[in-house]
Structures are given as C-alpha cells and as structure tokens.
Chain A
C-alpha cells in the first residue's frame, strides 16, 4: 500500500542570480483532458550541467520533459511559463519549429529514420537550408564524433541506420539532435532499451556533451542519475517534491517521500 505523502512538504531549490539558467519553468501545469498530470513545476536548469529527473513510473517525468520543447502541443494543455533566453516559449505565438531546433530531444526507444546513417543526420539540416556538401559532411562528422559514434560508422555512412545496434542507434539519435546545434538537450530514459555496455557509452557521451549543452535527462535508474547528473529533481504523482544537487539528493534527502523513494520503499 502506497503511503500518503503531503504535497505541501516539498524541498525545491532555486538558484541565485550568479547561476546562469538555460531553461526555467514557472508554475508549469499539464492537463490531459481532465487528468491533471503535472502540478506547479518550478524548476531552473543551470547552463552546461546535467539535471536528472527521477521518480516512479507515471509520476509525470515524460509529461514535464515533453512540455519543455512543446512536444505536448496538440496532446495536452500546458499552462504556466517556460523561460528560455528571457522569452516565455509557452506562448501560442511562439514558433515551435524554431524552439525545437534549440531544444533537441532524444526518446526512450531509439527512433532513427529508415534512411542511411548520413541521411539521418543531414535530412533536417537540408530542410533548414544547409546546402553545401562540405558543410553537410562536416556537420555529419562533428555530430557523430560528439555522440562518440564516428569511429564505429565512418566507413558505413551510407548503410541503413536500422542495421546499427540499439546502443548505436540511440547515439545516432543523439548525433541527429546535436547536428541541429541546439543548446538544450532533453533525453527521456535514453538507456532504458539498451544493454549495460551501451548504457555506459551513452553516459560517457553525455558527460562529454555537457561542456557544450545543457542536458535534462529523465531516468528511473537512480544509479544512472547519481553517475551523470549534477542536479536532481524527484517527481511524485505529478508533483515536483524535491530538487537539490544530486549529491545531496542521494546522501541526505530532505523530505520523507524522497527518503523512502531513495531507500527503495516504492517505485
């Protein structure tokens, strides 16, 4: 039987003016019809850090993450503010296509296009007007290097992306995202479909990528959160209960619900 925890008792950090935030949400609410799936999420994401979102299945992590680049448009109603470079991007008149180029996303199941490896990366670039072959080749190499995939595929760029292993496919999806030169990267349980070795590769990739990108990663693997993230937010039944530096979260959780979750009593 799941214990009842008060949603009033939360421990959510905010950042001082010295910390540059790449993205910040203010009173973010998400509704799937009548289902109020996310309540008052107030989170800031420090630039060039990895923030992990943890919590039990169904606690609203994906719901929250997908709201950040407006992928919930047409699926859910999202209210509240999402601040990005001083602009509230949760406004109807904001160009969502432009937003998504700046805030990239990698999904739970690797979803490369049924195209060649190269085409996976250049398709969206071409659609955005990058024409020169030299430019495209350079972007392909750079993003594949960024995703630590270059050495494995550099001789087979014209082979089908579907012929890659799951881990390689997921790194290709990361490469595809960073080829758009975003500054925020959202990842929704990117390793849940991968074996441990591929998982390590992806994690190493992320640690390397945080030098250039602000990364927000959903995971329900607490070890993974501990290994890669600097900040950690704990979600419970559609509420953000605790948000602290990752070290604090795992060594000294502030409130009962987090303590129980970390101790493995539920989730």
Chain B
C-alpha cells in the first residue's frame, strides 16, 4: 500500500466512525422525541403530579429545574469567575497553583452520586438544611465549579497577550485591563461554556436525589414571597426536578401510564438541553459581534 492508498483508507475509516457517532446520536434523539412528544400536552407541562404515584403533570418539576439552575448559577458563576481570573492572570507558576489545578481536576472527576451523598451528609443532615432547593443548589455548585472555572480560565487565556500589554501600557491596572479589555473579548466563549454547563446541570439527577429531594410539594404560584413555605421561590422547600422525576417514575412510579409519563418527561428534558446548546451558540455569536462592534 502506498501513502496515497493508506490515506484513503484512513479517511474512509474516520468517516465511518463519525457517521456511526452521528447516527447513534440521531437515533437516540429521534427515538426519545418520537416516543415522548405525542404524550406531551399543555396539561402535562403545567399540571401537578400525584406525590405517591407520580402520575399527572410536570409543571412543578419543570419550574424546580429552572429555579435550581438559576440558583446554582448565581452561586457558582461569581466563584468560578474569580477563580478563573485568578488562574489565568494572577497565579504564579508554582506548586501552589498546580495544587489548585489538581484539586479542580479531582473535583471535576468526582462521580455525581458521591457529590450528592456528600451534600446529603453535610448540608441536609449536619447543617440541618433538609431536602431543599438550597441544598441541591450547593451540591450542583460543587459539580459545576470545576467545569466553569476551567472554561473561564481557558477563554481568558486564549485572548492574546498583546491585548494585555496594550492595556497596561496605557496605565491601566491589571484588574482594569482584565475586566474592561480581556473579559469582553473572552465573554462569548465564557457564555457558551456557561450555557453548556447549564444543560448538564439541568439534566443532573444523581446529585439531587439526596439533596433537593424527591418530592415536589404543590406550590402556590401566586405567592412570590421567598419567605412563605408555599412560595415557589422558598429556597428551603424540597424540590424534585424533572430529571429526578424521570428517575423516580422509572424506579418506584406506580402510575398505570408510567412508561408514557417518563417518555414524555424525557422528551421535554432533551428538548430543554437542546435549546440550551442552540442558545449557547446564538448567544455566543451575538455577544461576540456586540463586544467587537462588528456588524
């Protein structure tokens, strides 16, 4: 075989592998959506579910998923932004920095069940926060921090050194240069990373089963005072999310139409994650055009 033939064979093999990956993905998508979407109705999307059987709608679960996502991001974004800026810009190349990096590495490879059990023991039991939105949000933060931090650090480091020099040479402080000049350039990449990680958080179940809990008490959607026990915004109420709901229907659901319920809920979950991915792309591009003032 000469070089040209080898090249052709290699190309065909790679094409086949790619086709297989795309094929599997498409098959899964089509299968899940076609199995689930026929059972989706407005009633299903907004209705409450029966606490025992799991039958009924997913309205509360859907709200819980989004609320938990927002809370998680509110906690993890500032922390990872600080950590990312520190690692990209201020950290010296020494043993302390490599220790931090290894810690992040380890944290990102922790199985989510372990994160969940840790959250259960520490926050739910020890700190007496109970099965609650806030316990779940903190557990998800652990899960989310390493990804976000790395994404932010990489996005910042990808911005050319010459931009930093330009800022410094104008008498701007390092901080001002980082926030006003480097961050806007890195923003599209950061936002893309945030939205993608939002997709992951949205679909997470294992870390939430023992932290945010497995029940979705009926909430009063006209009461927006976070202090009221029945308010959807109350961070101390248990909050079963969509992903946990799917898990529960499948393991202990006693509804007669459990299979259809779980198919429909899965379709919605997949759709939401797809929307996050699409949103990440659009938002990233939009922001890039905005900050660079290119039309």
Contacts and interface: CB of A to CB of B under 8 A. Distances in A.
A100 B171 contact: yes
B33 to A, nearest CB: 39
Given A123-B181, A127-B180, A158 B171 contact: no
Contact of B292 (A97, A105, A160): A160
Identify the interface centre among B169, B180, B185, B291: most chain A CB within 10 Å of its CB. Answer: B169
A98 B168 CA distance: 11
B171 A113 contact: no
Interface string A215-257: 0000000000000000000000000000000000000000000
A127 B165 contact: no
A174 B184 CA distance: 22
Contacts of B181: 113, 123
Given A127-B176, A177-B170, A107 B293 contact: no
Give the contact-size bracket for chain B: 20 to 34
A100 B165 CA distance: 11
B251 interface: no
Given A97-B171, A124-B171, A180-B171, A160 B294 contact: yes
Contacts of A111: 160, 162-163, 165-166
Contacts of A173: 166
Contacts of B185: 114
A123 to B, nearest CB: 6
A32 B249 CA distance: 65
A63 interface: no
Interface in A127-181: 127-128, 158-163, 173, 176-177, 180
Contacts of A113: 163, 166-167, 181
A124 B170 CA distance: 7
B149 to A, nearest CB: 23
A46 interface: no
B272 interface: no
Interface in A62-78: 69, 71
B282 interface: no
A100 B291 contact: no
Nearest to B162: A111
A161 B185 CA distance: 13
B173 interface: yes
A127 B293 contact: no
A81 interface: no
A: interface residue count bin: 20 to 34
B180 to A, nearest CB: 6
A127 B292 contact: no
B171 A105 contact: no
Nearest to B166: A111
B91 interface: no
Given A100-B170, A113-B181, A107 B292 contact: no
B94 to A, nearest CB: 14
B172 interface: yes
A119 interface: yes
Interface string B156-193: 00001011011111111100100011001100000000
A200 to B, nearest CB: 24
A146 to B, nearest CB: 16
A99 B176 CA distance: 16
A39 interface: no
Contacts of A69: 169
B293 A124 contact: no
A153 B117 CA distance: 61
Given A107-B162, A109-B162, A123-B181, A115 B169 contact: no
Contacts of A114: 163, 184-185, 291-293
B162 to A, nearest CB: 4
Interface of A: 69, 71, 97-101, 104-105, 107, 109, 111-116, 119, 123-124, 127-128, 158-163, 173, 176-177, 180
Closest 5 CB pairs of A and B: A101-B171, A111-B162, A105-B169, A124-B170, A100-B171
Interface of B: 160, 162-163, 165-173, 176, 180-181, 184-185, 291-295
30 contacts: A69-B169, A97-B173, A98-B171, A99-B171, A100-B170, A101-B171, A104-B170, A105-B165, A107-B162, A109-B162, A111-B160, A111-B163, A112-B166, A114-B185, A114-B292, A115-B184, A116-B293, A123-B181, A124-B170, A124-B171, A127-B180, A128-B171, A159-B293, A159-B294, A159-B295, A160-B292, A173-B166, A176-B166, A177-B170, A180-B171
Given A124-B167, A160-B294, 17 more contacts: A100-B169, A100-B170, A104-B169, A107-B166, A112-B166, A114-B163, A114-B292, A115-B292, A123-B181, A124-B172, A128-B171, A158-B293, A162-B292, A162-B294, A173-B166, A176-B166, A176-B170
